[in-house]
């Protein structure tokens, strides 16, 4: 039983990371119809920035905040400088640019900080944090921090005029222009926010997966799976989808281990987690192409 | 009266095809001008060209300033409100959000609130549906919402593209009464594009008729309305 709860808890912690990256993917997808394949590598780069600041003496939280802000600025710059000129380019050219961006982030991080795996600290106190035997201090911290970040983002989009303008620009750009919204800047802002959320995910997960230029590869896949399960056009759905995938992958491995323990037959274990998660994603998409929480657009009949 | 908008030798292009060849007209400050013409004559394109939503050549002067080539959102910020063809509302946003989006750059919360109340005096129906998703409103209500949102921009000039399209006569009458009030009480100048010539001529002071991308007739609305010869040859009724 305790083991079961532990698996759920660590699934939630992983899920929180996937949820952040999934949200970053969706934020760009809803306004441009593109999947930013470089989202994970951008987050990895942000994580190195925070690591660099810490080695220069900044405290964890200062480095965290600075990395988030820097990532926001870098995201805006990338959109303005690289994606802007491609606004009317065919889909494939954009995909190529994303892959190029991914490669550049990866090799730049490798060149600056080397490919050696580095340890990354956790800011959460070992004692008096977490619930003994159920959830570790870092896992609980990750869940809390990401929930706060997601909550802030939700409030921003839901209750501020700027958030409203971004939603309007995503839904109908030409109409948004007709009410005076500077749509191009809204896109850049979306990139900035996506990069910032990605940075949160990267810095939070680095203590678990360690810091190296390839740390986000698998995470991007899970996040993409989460976004698809939840509904790629629906930010709230993508966040839930991220959590679902996180818990699901652990449940699959847990069930496999239990079966092996009781019957001695090995069916499934940690190694097959990703495969099974992806099979489940494909199943969901076959049954519900818009994802579990895909928005059903209300139309008058 | 001085001209608020002057259009001279306007050309507009969709890719390689030229939709407007040489359109010239004026809109008087405080007046209601209507742009009539058959399907495909170029009425919608003319409104789009004013807001730089299509590739445009020629001269468009608003309040004396040349605005050709400026970004659409900057033209809107000069207080030209465009209510596009087919009731452009944000269907997944609520009525409230649809209206507030037009005031998103304004920091004075009370001012925006007052503005909303003022707009609701013209459209009390919208106030009752303030939290409803725009996509679930009736056609007439959506058209009202589109006009109300334009009004939230505090426009000096309102461009309306077939506000009567697909609506029942009673609703159309209501909307046209509101347009007259907006023109008189708010001092908003109006450029009205319509298929329904009789209706538009009742509301407008001045009329232009477009044919295949050029102006073929211009006169006071009253004259056009009462001259059967003009109506028969240009408007087909
Ligand atoms: N998006 C577009 N791409 C290419 N050609 C277009 C486009 N929109 C309009 N046109 C062409 O431009 C010309 C003028 O069209 P426009 O929509 O301005 O006419 P209209 O007077 O508004 O007609 P209606 O009364 O049917 O709305 C037409 O020949 C039309 O085919
Ligand atoms: Mg038209």
Q: Per-residue pLDDT averaged across B160-182, rounded?
A: 95
Span B129-135, average pLDDT: 95
Tell which residue, B154, B195, B85, B61, has the closest CA to residue A175.
B85
Which residues line ion ligand 2, judged by CB < 5 Å? B 44
Per-residue confidence (pLDDT) for residue B190, from 0 to 100: 98
Position A12 scores a pLDDT of: 94
**Ligand 1 centroid from CA B45, angstroms:** 6
Considering only CB atoms, B104 lies closest to which of A164, A298, A300, namely: A164
Share of chain A above pLDDT 90, in %: 68
State yes or no: pLDDT of A299 exceeds 50: no
Kindly state whether A158 is in contact with chain B, defined as any CB-CB distance less than 8 angstroms: no
> Any chain B CB within 8 A of the CB of A172?
yes
State pTM to two decimals: 0.90
- Which numeric CATH code is attached to B3-92+154-235? 3.40.50.300
If pLDDT is split at 50, 70 and 90, which confidence band does A293 have? Answer: confident
Among protein residues, the one whose CA lies closest to atom 25 of ligand 1: B39
Nearest to B74 by CA among A182, A150, A85: A182
The 10s digit of each residue's pLDDT in A69-106 is: 999 999 999 999 999 998 888 989 999 999 999 999 99
**Contact yes or no for A297 and B77 at CB 8 A:** no
- As a whole number, the mean pLDDT across chain A is 90
- Is the predicted pLDDT of residue B69 greater than 90, yes or no? yes
Q: Cα of B37 to ligand 1 centre, how many Å?
A: 12
Chain A residues near residue B73 by CB distance under 8 angstroms: 177, 180-183
Confidence label for A296 from pLDDT (cuts 50, 70 and 90)? low
Each residue's pLDDT tens digit, B18-52: 999 999 999 999 999 999 999 999 999 999 999 99
Instruction: Report which ligand 1 atom has the smallest distance to the Cα of B210.
Output: 21
- DSSP states along chain A: -HHHHHHHHHHHHHHHHHHHHHHHHHHHHHHHS---TTHHHHHHHHHHHHHHHHHTT--HHHHHHHHHHHHHHHHHHHIIIIIGGGTTS-HHHHHHHHHHHHHHHHHHHHHHH-S--B-----S-STTSSBTTTB-HHHHHHHHHHHHHHHHHHHHHHHSHHHHHHHHHHH-HHHHHHTT--HHHHHHHHHHHHHHHHHHHHHHHHHHH-B-TTTTHHHHHHHHHHHHHH-TT-HHHHHHHHHHHHHHHHHHHHHHHHHHHHH------GGGHHHHHHHHHHHHHHH-TT-TT--------
Q: Of the ranges A121-130, A136-145, A193-202, B43-52, which one carries the lowest mean pLDDT score?
A: A121-130
Confidence of residue A298 (pLDDT cuts 50, 70, 90): very low
State the Cα–Cα distance between residues B130 and B218, nearest whole angstrom: 41
- A164 to B73: CB separation less than 8 angstroms, yes or no: no
Per-residue model confidence (pLDDT) at position A234: 87
**Chain A CB within 8 Å of residue B15 CB:** no
B226 touches chain A (CB under 8 A): no
Nearest residue, CB atoms, A172 vs list B90, B106, B138: B90
What average pLDDT does range A213-230 have in this prediction? 92
- CA dist., res. B142 & res. B150, Å (int): 12
Lowest mean pLDDT among A116-125, B22-31, B209-218, B222-231: B222-231
Cβ separation B104–A165 shorter than 8 A: yes
How would residue B67 be classed by pLDDT, with cut points 50, 70 and 90?
Answer: very high
Percent of chain B with pLDDT over 70: 100
What is the reported pLDDT for B89?
93
Contact B90 A171 (CB under 8 A): yes
């Amino acid at each position: 039983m305790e083991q079961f709860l532990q698996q759920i808890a660590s699934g939630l912690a992983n899920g929180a990371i996937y949820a952040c990256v999934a949200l970053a993917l969706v934020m760009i997808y809803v306004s441009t119809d593109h999947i930013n394949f470089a989202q994970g590598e951008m987050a990895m780069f942000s994580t190195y920035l925070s690591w660099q600041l810490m080695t220069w003496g900044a405290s964890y939280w200062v480095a965290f905040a600075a990395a988030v802000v820097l990532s926001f600025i870098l995201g805006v710059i990338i959109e303005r400088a690289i994606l802007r000129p491609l606004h009317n380019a065919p889909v494939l050219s954009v995909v190529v640019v994303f892959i190029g961006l991914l490669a550049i982030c990866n090799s730049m991080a490798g060149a600056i900080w080397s490919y050696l795996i580095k340890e990354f600290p956790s800011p959460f106190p070992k004692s008096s944090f977490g619930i003994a035997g159920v959830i570790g201090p870092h896992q609980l911290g990750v869940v809390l921090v990401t929930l706060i970040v997601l909550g802030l983002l939700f409030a921003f989009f839901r209750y501020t005029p700027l958030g409203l303008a971004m939603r309007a620009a995503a839904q109908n750009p030409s109409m948004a222009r007709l009410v005076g919204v500077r749509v191009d800047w809204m896109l850049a802002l979306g990139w900035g926010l996506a990069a910032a959320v990605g940075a949160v995910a990267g810095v939070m997960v680095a203590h678990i997966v360690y810091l190296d230029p390839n740390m986000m590869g698998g995470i991007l896949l899970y996040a993409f799976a989460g976004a698809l399960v939840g509904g790629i056009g629906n930010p709230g759905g993508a966040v839930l989808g991220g959590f679902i995938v996180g818990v699901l992958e652990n449940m699959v491995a847990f069930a496999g281990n239990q079966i092996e323990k009781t019957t001695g037959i090995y069916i499934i274990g940690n190694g097959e987690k990703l495969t099974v998660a992806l099979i489940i994603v494909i199943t969901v998409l076959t049954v519900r192409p818009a994802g579990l929480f895909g928005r059903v657009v209300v139309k008058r009949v | 009266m001085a001209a608020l908008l002057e259009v001279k030798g306007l050309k507009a292009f969709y890719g390689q095809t030229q939709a407007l060849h040489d359109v010239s007209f004026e809109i008087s400050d405080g007046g209601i001008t209507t742009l009539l013409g058959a399907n495909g004559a170029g009425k919608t394109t003319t409104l789009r060209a004013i807001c730089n939503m299509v590739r445009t050549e020629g001269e468009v002067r608003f309040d004396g300033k040349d605005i050709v080539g400026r970004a659409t959102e900057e033209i809107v910020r000069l207080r030209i409100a465009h209510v596009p063809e087919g009731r452009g509302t944000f269907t997944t946003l609520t009525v409230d959000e649809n209206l507030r989006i037009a005031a998103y750059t304004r920091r004075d919360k009370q001012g925006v609130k007052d503005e909303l109340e003022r707009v609701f005096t013209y459209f009390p129906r919208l106030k009752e549906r303030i939290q409803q998703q725009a996509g679930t409103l009736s056609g007439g209500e959506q058209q009202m919402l589109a006009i109300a949102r334009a009004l939230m921009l505090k426009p000096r000039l309102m461009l309306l593209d077939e506000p009567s399209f697909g609506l029942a006569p009673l609703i159309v009458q209501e909307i046209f009464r509101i347009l007259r009030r907006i023109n008189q009480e708010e001092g908003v100048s109006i450029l009205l594009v319509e298929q329904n010539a009789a209706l538009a001529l009742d509301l407008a002071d001045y009329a232009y008729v477009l044919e295949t991308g050029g102006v073929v007739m211009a006169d006071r609305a009253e004259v056009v309305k009462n001259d059967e010869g003009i109506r028969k040859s240009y408007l087909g009724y």
